[in-house]
């Protein structure tokens, strides 16, 4: 059910006016306690511009109209539209390709050399592995994806 809904949201966003410069980053339909949430994360295509509350409002109104017309979800749910944030997770292959060479935080299920959180430059990704160059190191390490809990952009202040 959730994948059908997220696929439908992706199709709706393909129809969102291109001149707005807004695209779908990721979508999830989840149950938390008694409530269900349709979370839509958007991004802007223009370099140096960030997702604004106006952008979220435009997408929310657009999706509300589409969802009301098609009514693909039985029962109640909450629609949330937001930015994926500065520390956005890398989920799809397109995300990994876009942020190749960026500084990332890699959370592991079990420690690697005593650490469950590694920060480094994203150097590569295959279907089975991720490669990073840890901060302050010239050595590139390769980690099996099955041992990686989450990869997200590192926030540098």
**DSSP per residue over 6-55, as a string?**
HHHHHHHHHTS-GGG-EEEEEEEEEEETTEEEEEEEEEESSTT----HHH
Fold of 2-82: GMP Synthetase; Chain A, domain 3 (3.30.300)
CA atoms of 69 and 109, how far apart (whole Å): 42
pLDDT of residue 105: 98
**Class in CATH terms, 93-153:** mainly beta
pTM, to two decimals: 0.86
Tokens of residue 116, six digits: 């469950």
- Helices and strands in the chain, H and E counts: 3, 8
Tens of pLDDT, residue by residue, the chain (157 residues): 556 999 999 999 999 998 999 999 999 999 999 999 999 999 998 888 899 999 999 999 999 999 999 889 989 999 999 999 999 999 999 999 999 999 999 999 999 999 999 999 999 999 999 999 999 899 999 999 999 999 999 998 7
Token digits for 118?
């590694």
| 86 SS3 class | coil
> For position 134, what pLDDT does the model report?
95
Asked whether the beta carbons of 99 and 53 are under 8 A apart, the reply is no
The full set of domain ranges for the chain reads 2-82, 93-153
């Amino acid at each position: 059910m959730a994948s059908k809904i997220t696929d439908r949201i992706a199709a709706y966003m393909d129809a969102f006016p291109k001149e707005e410069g807004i695209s779908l980053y990721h979508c999830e339909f989840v149950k938390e306690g008694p409530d269900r949430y349709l979370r839509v994360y958007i991004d802007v295509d223009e370099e140096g511009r960030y997702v604004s509350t106006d952008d979220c409002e435009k997408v929310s109104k657009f999706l509300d109209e589409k969802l009301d017309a098609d009514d693909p979800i039985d029962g109640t749910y909450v629609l949330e539209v937001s930015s994926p944030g500065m520390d956005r997770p890398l989920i799809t292959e397109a995300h990994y390709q876009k942020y190749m060479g960026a500084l990332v935080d890699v959370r592991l299920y079990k420690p690697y050399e005593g650490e469950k959180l590694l920060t480094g430059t994203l150097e590569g990704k295959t279907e089975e592995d991720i490669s990073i160059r840890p901060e302050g190191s010239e050595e590139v390490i390769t980690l099996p994806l099955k041992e990686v809990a989450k990869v997200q952009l590192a926030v540098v202040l």
